[in-house]
Amino acid sequence: MGSSHSSLSDQHVFQSGQGQIGFNLMNSLQQSPESDATRKLLSSLDVQKRVTDELQRLQNKEDQISKAMDQQIATEAEEDPHLNRSSVSRSITALSQKLNNESRPIDQSEVVKRAETAVVRCLRLNDRRPLDCWKEVEEFKREVTRLESAFVNKIVGDV
C-alpha cells in the first residue's frame, strides 16, 4: 500500500464533465505573462473606467437638465414682467427689514406655556420612563407649530 512511490508523469490530463484539458494548455496558462496581480490591476482599471464613464454620463445629464431649467426660467421671466432680479431683491430686502424689526422675543401664548409645563411635570413624574409623556410632547409640538405659523403669517402675509 505505501510501498510504491507515486510518480509524476509528463502528461497530466484534467477531466471535467464534458472534455479534457491537456497538459499543454495548462502549461501555457501557467506560463502566461499575466499574473494574478496583473489581472487584479486590469480589473481595477476596468472598474475605474466604468465609474468614470458613468460619472461623465451623469454630469452630461445634469448639464442638460440645468440648461433646460435655465431656459424655462428665462421663458417665465419674459412672460411675467413683474418677476425680475430687482423686484425679487426688493422683496428680500423688505422681508429682511421686517424680520429685523421683529427681533424681540416672541410672546408665548398661554396655551403653549400650559403645554410646556405639562411636559415638564410629566417628565418629572416619570423620570424613569420619559416615553410615557408622548401625549404631552405631541400637544406641545402642535401648539408651537401653531405659534410659528401665526408668526410667519404675520411677517410674510403683509408682503
Buried b (16+ CB within 10 A) or exposed e, 120-134: eebeeeeeeeeeebe
Q: Residue 25 is placed in which grid cell?
A: 494548455
- What does DSSP say about strands 14-15 and 20-21: parallel, antiparallel, or unpaired? antiparallel
Strands (E), the chain: 14-15, 20-21
Q: Are 106 and 88 in contact (CB under 8 A)?
A: no
Q: Name which of 119, 111, 99, 118 is nearest 145 in CA terms.
A: 111
CA distance 138 to 23: 77
Res 104: pLDDT: 62
CA distance 32 to 122: 76
Among 38-47, 72-81, 98-107, 141-150, top mean pLDDT goes to 141-150
pLDDT higher at 34 or 5: 34
Alpha-carbon Rg for the chain, nearest whole angstrom, is 38
29-54: pLDDT as tens digits: 677 777 777 778 888 888 898 898 99
pLDDT higher at 73 or 141: 141
Residue 118: alpha-carbon gap to chain centroid: 38
Domain residue ranges of the chain, discontinuous segments joined by +: 36-83, 84-159
Backbone CA torsion sign across 121, 122, 124, 125: positive
pTM of the model: 0.37
